[in-house]
Chain A
Amino acid sequence: QKEVEQNSGPLSVPEGAIASLNCTYSDRVSQSFFWYRQYSGKSPELIMSIYSNGDKEDGRFTAQLNKASQYVSLLIRDSQPSDSATYLCAVRSSGDKLTFGTGTRLAVRP
């Protein structure tokens, strides 16, 4: 069974700090990796996608992928209270479906 694992948290960081969110996956043939943010009571919104090993930066967000170790991470620089949400890691192995992790709850303290 394809699995995506995330620490449920909460991960608490002070405002301005770097938040580091991690995700591991079990299916070695996974090809596409996504980070979504979900505020309480809302639907997920896409933050970033990553397909190749290494880092991908978009503003304050950096996604990191290491296929050999089967992990993907998301760094949030200069964390803001508005970043407080649940962050979902999603992996596409083959076919249409995404496999989601259970999410990591991030709390940014003012």
Chain B
Amino acid sequence: GAVVSQHPSWVICKSGTSVKIECRSLDFQATTMFWYRQFPKQSLMLMATSNEGSKATYEQGVEKDKFLINHASLTLSTLTVTSAHPEDSSFYICSARGGAITDTQYFGPGTRLTVL
């Protein structure tokens, strides 16, 4: 139980294009989903928290117009990186909270984004 999927697992795009990453909770309804970013050899950095049907709450320093988050249902959240630049290249990981143990965050496998 408590499986979270992410798609795609990796993506390479050209500078200036937009990339959408999907995060799905497969066997539970996620009341809250989180988006993290991790640079090599660094810890997880929370980007935003989203609840189904409401606007995401962004962490300080994260541009909400650049990183668009949509939490359309209790099992799906999407992160769109708009006008991507090489400095946006990173490992993006979502997590979902809910299910039998509502306090616990379960992580998706991550999406590695490379912007050329």
In angstroms, Cα B104 to Cα A32, docked, is: 9
Given the known A-B contacts A42-B109, A49-B104, are A96 and B32 also in contact in the complex, defined by CB atoms under 8 Å? yes
Pick the contact of A96: B49, B107, B108, B109 (CB < 8 A). Answer: B49
Instruction: Let me know if A78 is at the binding interface, CB within 8 A.
Output: no
Chain B contact residue count (CB 8 A cutoff):
19
Instruction: Let me know if A45 is at the binding interface, CB within 8 A.
Output: yes
Pick the contact of A45: B44, B46, B107 (CB < 8 A). Answer: B107
Given the known A-B contacts A44-B44, A97-B49, are A32 and B109 also in contact in the complex, defined by CB atoms under 8 Å? no
The answer on a CB contact under 8 Å between B110 and A88 is: no
B51 to chain A, nearest CB (A): 8
Instruction: Let me know if B93 is at the binding interface, CB within 8 A.
Output: yes
In angstroms, Cα B36 to Cα A44, docked, is: 11
The answer on a CB contact under 8 Å between A97 and B104 is: no
Closest chain A residue to B57, Cβ basis:
A96
In angstroms, Cα B42 to Cα A102, docked, is: 7
In angstroms, Cα B93 to Cα A96, docked, is: 17
Pick the contact of B109: A43, A49, A98, A100 (CB < 8 A). Answer: A43
Q: Taking beta carbons and an 8 Å cutoff, which residues of A are in contact with B?
A: 32, 34, 36, 41-46, 49, 51, 88, 90, 92, 96-98, 100-103
